[in-house]
Amino acid sequence: MLPLCSYLTIVLTAILFSFTSSAIDTSTHEDNFLQCLYTYSHNSTSISKLVYTKNNSSYSSILQFTIQNLRFASNTIPKPLVIITPKEISHIQTTITCSQNHGLQVRIRSGGHDFEGRSYVSDVPFVILDLTNFREIELDVEKKTAWVQSGVTLGELYYKISRKSRNLGFSAGVCPTIGVGGHISGGGYGNMVRKFGLAADNVIDAHIIDVKGRFLDRQAMGEDLFWAIRGGGGASFGVIVSWKIKLVHVPSIVTVFTLPKTLEQNATKLIHKWQYVASKIDENIVINVILQRANSSKKGESKKNSTVLALFQTLFLGGVDKLIPLMQQNFPELGLVKEDCTQMSWIESVVYLYGFPKGESPEALLNRTLAGKDIYKVKSDFVKIPIPEIGFEGIWPMFDEDGGKDAMMYLFPYGGIMDNISESEIPFPHRYGNLYQTHYSVHWHQENDEVEKVKLNWIRKLYSYMEPFVSMSPRTAYINYRDLDIGVNNKNGYTSYKKASVWGVKYFKNNFKRLAKVKSIVDPLNFFRNEQSVPSLVSKGGI
Ligand code: FDA
């Protein structure tokens, strides 16, 4: 391990800088930070190749590379003074040390999919620690485990597992370009969540670098910190370098289908029934529903030529011959027949359910830039009591409004093993009693203040409309669908537990208190912080 300044020196210097930072211009911060970085790196030539300042011609392309939400890519958004793309543990340790020494915040980025851009945006002078070079996957097929570094994407992980065995997989998100660093830190659900739980439920060890620059595994970090990082949200406790995960058994053949139903085809009744079925049916089935506006085929019959389309999209961990009777028994109204279904390998189902064109090969999962980037805002809810048909009928006209164009609503079922895991097993608390998670998204394609206003108003109106139908006291939300509307920490200085609870209890319910206690022990002075980081109970200063 490289020689680090003593923790006390770092902290005192950092506090000093926090008092004087307004008087120091950002170029001084940057120069001092860089000097520190090169001084403490045992090979300053090697680290200099991994550091990008605004003068570097690659700065913009490195910054933009994994930005998913272009809402946070515009020129008006604050940019990092420096981007560091470490290749070694010591590079991360030095970055943490020098940022503290020179009063800079660190934003940690793995896959860059944070819905509110918190891995690459800050209002105070900051650097980005971009883990894109931490990309190793070590698989142990015999033991059904893998060590996966934070910069690996889900697509790379799924692909690599599938090359070793047709019968192994991992239970995590749907979008292949998501980074495991942020995803597992916030929970991570996907099409196998009802059978195997969240990605974070399947973590058995981890490597983290803490605020003191120490490299810790599960044993060294202790069970409290190990609990906190599995679902407590990224960027509050340290830099996760890698996760050790449990692989899961997948059958050689799985079955998928996508059934589109419009309002004219009874979509409202089907969705209403779906609420009673999807979280109770055999745990090998995940039927999710995607709702969006579509053209109506019944043109001319009425003035209205649009409708709402509900896509019933399914993964079944088994063959079609088992699926059909299960569906006939539990959800005959959907009218599923064998011809609607396709059998394939699990890895092919990952490709299919992401929405690649039919026949696309699994190699497509290795493309780190494939997610169609646009500008968006997302909000989430959990539903515990089925919404009456009339409740859904109140939503449909909203899709006809200007803001509802390109908007989507997703309904994703829980139940299965999720009902059997206690709310406090890991920080993610949305377990027994949650029928499904729903999230809403609005999209637009060009920066434009007026359009943004219309879109944001629309999604906030829908969110407000949904209030009587979703979880309450608290109205819960999913940390990986970060939503700054639900509350933020103070921009500068200390945020009390009470203030942070406004958003924290929505994401974590009673687990928020324990998260704050862990934070107070591992990062008492609140170095790792952002708009929705867990607060320290002991720090009033904040650096
Ligand atoms: P990013 O790098 O932006 O990090 C997210 C947060 O974690 C930031 O606060 C960041 O600082 C922190 N962080 C990142 N790496 C860290 C590390 N190594 N150590 C400590 N902190 C770290 N979710 C889901 O559960 N199921 C799904 O199917 C999907 N689908 C989906 C599709 C699309 C298109 C998007 C944009 C997002 C999703 N998500 C999702 C949400 C996704 O799981 C969530 O945004 C993750 O936090 C993204 O992790 P990244 O590493 O990609 O993001």
Residue 243: Cβ-neighbour burial (10 angstroms; 0-12, 13-18, 19+)? buried
Nearest by Cα to 128 from 59, 180, 175: 59
Nearest by Cα to 151 from 130, 170, 120, 175: 130
User: Which residue reads 């409708």 in tokens?
Assistant: 307
Nearest by Cα to 126 from 538, 543, 489, 520: 543
Question: Atom 52 (ligand 1): residue with closest C-alpha?
Answer: 111
Give exposure, 38-76, as e/b (b: 16+ Cβ within 10 Å). bebbeeeeebeebbbbeeeeebeebbebbbbbbbbbeee
Question: Atom 30 (ligand 1): residue with closest C-alpha?
Answer: 175
Enzyme catalytic residues: 481
How many CB atoms are located within 10 Å of the residue 140 CB?
A: 12
Q: How confident is the prediction along the chain (543 residues), in pLDDT tens digits per residue?
A: 333 333 333 333 343 334 344 445 677 889 999 999 999 887 777 888 999 999 999 999 999 999 999 999 999 999 999 999 999 999 999 999 999 999 999 999 999 999 999 999 999 999 999 999 999 999 999 999 999 999 999 999 999 999 999 999 999 999 999 999 999 999 999 999 999 999 999 999 999 999 999 999 999 999 999 999 999 999 999 999 999 999 999 999 999 999 999 999 999 999 999 999 999 999 999 999 999 999 886 655 555 689 999 999 999 999 999 999 999 999 999 999 999 999 999 999 999 999 998 789 999 999 988 767 889 999 999 999 999 999 999 999 999 999 999 999 999 999 999 999 999 999 999 999 999 999 999 999 888 999 999 999 999 999 999 999 999 999 999 999 999 999 999 987 789 999 999 999 999 999 999 999 999 999 999 999 999 999 999 866 443
The answer to whether the CB of 202 falls within 8 A of the CB of 192 is: no
The answer to whether the CB of 159 falls within 8 A of the CB of 137 is: no
The pick from 480, 481, 507 for probing ligand 1's pocket by mutation, whose C-beta has the most ligand atoms within 8 angstroms, reads: 480
Question: Atom 35 (ligand 1): residue with closest C-alpha?
Answer: 113
Instruction: Compute, in angstroms, the gap from residue 65 CA to the centroid of ligand 1.
Output: 15
Handedness of CA 202, 204, 210, 213 (dihedral sign): negative
Question: Atom 46 (ligand 1): residue with closest C-alpha?
Answer: 183
Instruction: Compute, in angstroms, the gap from residue 243 CA to the centroid of ligand 1.
Output: 14
- What local confidence, expressed as pLDDT, does residue 313 receive? 98
Instruction: Compute, in angstroms, the gap from residue 389 CA to the centroid of ligand 1.
Output: 34
User: In angstroms, rounded to a whole number, what is the distance separating the alpha carbons of residues 92 and 41?
Assistant: 10
> What pTM was computed for the model?
0.94
User: In angstroms, rounded to a whole number, what is the distance separating the alpha carbons of residues 239 and 44?
Assistant: 22
The pick from 64, 128, 175 for probing ligand 1's pocket by mutation, whose C-beta has the most ligand atoms within 8 angstroms, reads: 175
The answer to whether the CB of 542 falls within 8 A of the CB of 492 is: yes
User: In angstroms, rounded to a whole number, what is the distance separating the alpha carbons of residues 366 and 383?
Assistant: 34
The string of DSSP letters for 435-458 reads -EEEEEEEEESS--HHHHHHHHHH
Instruction: Compute, in angstroms, the gap from residue 183 CA to the centroid of ligand 1.
Output: 4
Residue 52 C-alpha from the chain's centroid: 26
- What local confidence, expressed as pLDDT, does residue 29 receive? 82
Which residues approach ligand 1 with their CB closer than 6 A?
68, 107-115, 118-119, 131, 150, 173-175, 178-179, 181-183, 185-190, 234-235, 239-240, 371, 480
- What local confidence, expressed as pLDDT, does residue 301 receive? 53
Instruction: Compute, in angstroms, the gap from residue 452 CA to the centroid of ligand 1.
Output: 23
Residue 291: what residue type? L
User: In angstroms, rounded to a whole number, what is the distance separating the alpha carbons of residues 433 and 440?
Assistant: 21
Instruction: Name, in order, each residue with C-beta under 8 angstroms of 199's C-beta and a sequence gap of 6 or more.
Output: 170, 171, 172, 173, 180, 183, 184, 187, 188, 189, 190, 245
- Computed on alpha carbons and rounded to an integer, the radius of gyration of the chain in Å comes to 24
Nearest by Cα to 318 from 281, 355, 356: 281
The pick from 63, 95, 108, 174 for probing ligand 1's pocket by mutation, whose C-beta has the most ligand atoms within 8 angstroms, reads: 108
Length of the chain measured in residues: 543
User: In angstroms, rounded to a whole number, what is the distance separating the alpha carbons of residues 23 and 27?
Assistant: 12
Residue 356: what residue type? F
Residue 311 C-alpha from the chain's centroid: 23
What is the DSSP code (8-state) at residue 328? Answer: H
